[in-house]
Amino acid sequence: MVLLRLSPMALSQSRFALSPGAETLGSMSVLTKPCSDPWLTPWHTRHHDAFHAILDADPFARGLVELLCSTKYLPGYVSRPPTGGMRTKLADELKAVAEARDDDIRADLDAAVARSWKRHDLAWLTGRGWGARTAGLFRHVWTTHVRPDWPRRRALLERDVTYRAGLLAAYGWPRALQHMNRRSAWVGADAIRFSDQPGPDHIVGEGGMLFVPVCVTSGTWLAEAPPDRYALVYPARGSGDPTARPPVAPALERLIGSGRAALLHELERPATSSELAAHLGLSLGTVGGHLSVLRDANMVTGTRVGRRVVYRRTATGDLLAQT
């Protein structure tokens, strides 16, 4: 079992972040195989052929992508913790990738080959400047395939962070980390289980842990930067079609009105008023009015998280939403 151990200081400094680099890496994995995620299928259909044309034209790109998508060890030079919090820029992430030394990259790739479930001979690893070539590949995939879809994806990722931040404020880290993936769980008072496989514990530095959602339906990885910076990359929840919501019960609509009933159902996942307005296609003023009534009726409650107020259903709200 691999544990991530956090001191009280590290725990207090832990936070969420976004990573265009991790999103690009996850997107390459999605594009290498058939897509079964309805939320990503239209995007996959539009970009699959063009992505594979790039791989067919560049043996280095083909070999690297196939290795990254078939190993239990992601090379450290392509999977570092983001440094810009929720405003991380790809250019900043790729700067470190481009500056990686060839000798270090070769050691990283050898380790990835040893942990792969496929055979790789690294014959495609020719020439020099592998860091710059890797950064160029990531930049192209981001610009051509990911960035056009980024507004939609960012909204989903921010919704996941809002959901978990609300749980964190109300219940603490163990509840916020619940169901991030199939393996991760809070263990004891000071550790997160990352993997069931044998391995040494990792001691998280005083700067705390980063938690980074990405728009893939499976796959979790640990990004590390020596000596003690770690980021847990995990699949964001709620990637289903946002228009395919379960119908609101007519009885609930008659009781509190269709707008408030829809909002109450939407709060199955905690959200801010801005997020509710965007998802329901309502004005902020309308959402604010509905929330005020629902709060006065003890159906929802709000928790301040930084500069935002995250709303969630109360036990009464949960009961009525199931009506």
Q: Which residues contact 233 (CB under 8 A, 6 or more apart)?
A: 19, 22, 26, 79, 212, 213, 214, 220, 221, 222, 223
Q: Considering only CA atoms, which of 211, 166, 159, 171 is closest in space to residue 305?
A: 166
**8 C-beta neighbours (distance < 10 Å), count:** 10
124-134 mean pLDDT: 96
Whole-number pLDDT of residue 323: 64
At residue 38, the 3 state secondary structure works out as coil
164 pLDDT higher than 50:
yes
The confidence band for 318, taking pLDDT boundaries of 50, 70 and 90, is confident
CA distance 62 to 147: 21
Q: Is the dihedral of CA 65, 69, 75, 79 positive or negative?
A: positive
196-213 mean pLDDT: 89
The confidence band for 132, taking pLDDT boundaries of 50, 70 and 90, is very high
Whether the ω angle into residue 34 lies within 30 degrees of 0, i.e. cis, is no
Residue 87 amino acid letter: R
The confidence band for 239, taking pLDDT boundaries of 50, 70 and 90, is very low
The confidence band for 249, taking pLDDT boundaries of 50, 70 and 90, is low
Q: Considering only CA atoms, which of 237, 253, 302 is closest in space to residue 276?
A: 302
Whole-number pLDDT of residue 48: 96
Percent of the chain with pLDDT over 90: 52
CATH class of 250-321: mainly alpha
Whole-number pLDDT of residue 75: 95
Whole-number pLDDT of residue 163: 81
150 pLDDT higher than 80:
yes
Per residue in 23-81, pLDDT (tens digit) is 999 999 999 998 888 889 999 999 999 999 999 999 999 999 999 999 999 999 999 99
CA distance 138 to 124: 17
In residues, how long is the chain?
Answer: 323
253 pLDDT higher than 80:
no
Tokens standing for 7?
A: 């001191």
Whole-number pLDDT of residue 241: 41
Q: Considering only CA atoms, which of 272, 38, 22, 311 is closest in space to residue 159?
A: 272
Q: At how many degrees (to 10) do helices 90-98 and 130-141 cross?
A: 160
How far from 317 is each of 178, 264, 289, 301, 322, CA to CA, in Å?
A: 22, 7, 17, 9, 9
Is the separation of the CB atoms in 192 and 204 below 8 Å? Answer: no
248 pLDDT higher than 50:
yes
More confident residue, 37 or 122: 122
The confidence band for 245, taking pLDDT boundaries of 50, 70 and 90, is very low
Domain locations along the chain: 2-235, 250-321
Whole-number pLDDT of residue 240: 42
More confident residue, 243 or 234: 234
Q: What angle do CA 146, 148, 149 make, to 5 degrees?
A: 65
276-281 mean pLDDT: 80
230-254 mean pLDDT: 67
CA atoms within 13 A on the CB side of 207: 15
Among 30-34, 129-133, 170-174, 215-219, which range has the highest average pLDDT?
A: 129-133
How far from 309 is each of 167, 242, 257, 290, CA to CA, in Å?
A: 12, 22, 24, 15
Is the separation of the CB atoms in 215 and 38 below 8 Å? Answer: no
Q: Considering only CA atoms, which of 37, 265, 17, 14 is closest in space to residue 154?
A: 17
211-237 mean pLDDT: 89
Q: Considering only CA atoms, which of 30, 14, 35 is closest in space to residue 161?
A: 14
259 pLDDT higher than 90:
no
Whole-number pLDDT of residue 186: 82
Per residue in 79-120, pLDDT (tens digit) is 999 999 999 999 999 999 999 999 999 999 999 999 999 999
The confidence band for 242, taking pLDDT boundaries of 50, 70 and 90, is very low
Whole-number pLDDT of residue 44: 95
Is the separation of the CB atoms in 109 and 67 below 8 Å? Answer: yes
